Amino acid sequence: MSFRKKKVIGIIPAKKNSTRLKNKNIKKVNNLRLFEISVISALESKIIDEVVVSSNSNFILNKSKKLGAKILKRPDNLCKNITNANEVIQHFINKLDGEIKSRNPYLIYLQPTSPLRKSTHIDRAFKALKKGFHSLVSVSISNKSFYKSLGVKGKKIQPLFPKFYNANDQQIPQIFKPNGAIYIFLLKDFLKKKKIPVNNLCVYIMSEKESLDINSLKDFKILKKVMKSKRL
């Protein structure tokens, strides 16, 4: 295990409550809860050395521990709807052993809402990190029609990207859309701005299907259909 002679720690955020889809992280599909799917995928990775589940739910923490993950109790004030990934990661770093911090490990942030992200995706993502780069985000390919968008400028409706408004597809740059499945970065790079690094990024491309993000009942129904078809 490890990557470029550095320890690799997986962080899985799985809070108790959710707004748009109630009890999202503990919903079951194919006899596995949403958070369990991510924990198992992370544990099966050939690169991740240690998996830590961050939650305010004793149920989720106990189940994760039984699966083989380490656990971190997160206070309720860091489990609100307005709590972002950067705050969750900072809380994890604050609790991290000083010796491990000094070694500047790679961190990989894996949200349970991306259940079609497998251990193979995780390992391939690390391999997609080019020499000299230390940060990566998983993406899906976005529609180039974005460059033909119209917006309000002053009191007029105008093209947001005039250069590409009448261009054909071959003349428009490829667009990538972060899918929320994988974020890889060095601990010290995060601490520079207390944010997931966004400069000098590599991308790992996943299909639209693999990029399914569970945030609504509709998303969950799609997931159940996909998982059911895989069992056939």
For residue 149, is it within any domain?
no
* Three-state SS letters, 96-148: CCHHHHHCCCEEEECCCCCCCCCHHHHHHHHHCCCCCCCEEEEEEEECHHHHH
For residue 59, is it within any domain?
yes
For residue 56, is it within any domain?
yes
The parent domain of residue 221 ranges over 8-141+174-225
For residue 168, is it within any domain?
no
Number of domains observed in the structure of the chain? 1
In this prediction, residues 85-105 reach a mean pLDDT of: 96
What pLDDT shows up at residue 199? Answer: 86
What pLDDT shows up at residue 148? Answer: 87
For residue 150, is it within any domain?
no
For residue 164, is it within any domain?
no
In this prediction, residues 130-140 reach a mean pLDDT of: 94
Task: Residue 133: name the closest of 187, 199, 188 by CA.
Answer: 199
Eight-state DSSP code of residue 173: P
Q: List pLDDT tens digits, range 152-166.
A: 988 889 998 888 888
pTM of the predicted structure, to 2 decimals = 0.92
Taking 50 as the threshold, does the pLDDT of residue 232 lie above it?
Answer: no
Confidence grade of residue 200 (pLDDT, cut at 50, 70, 90)? confident
For residue 200, is it within any domain?
yes
Confidence grade of residue 231 (pLDDT, cut at 50, 70, 90)? low
For residue 230, is it within any domain?
no
User: What CATH number should be reported for the domain holding residue 193?
Assistant: 3.90.550.10
**Dist. CA 225–CA 200, nearest whole Å:** 37
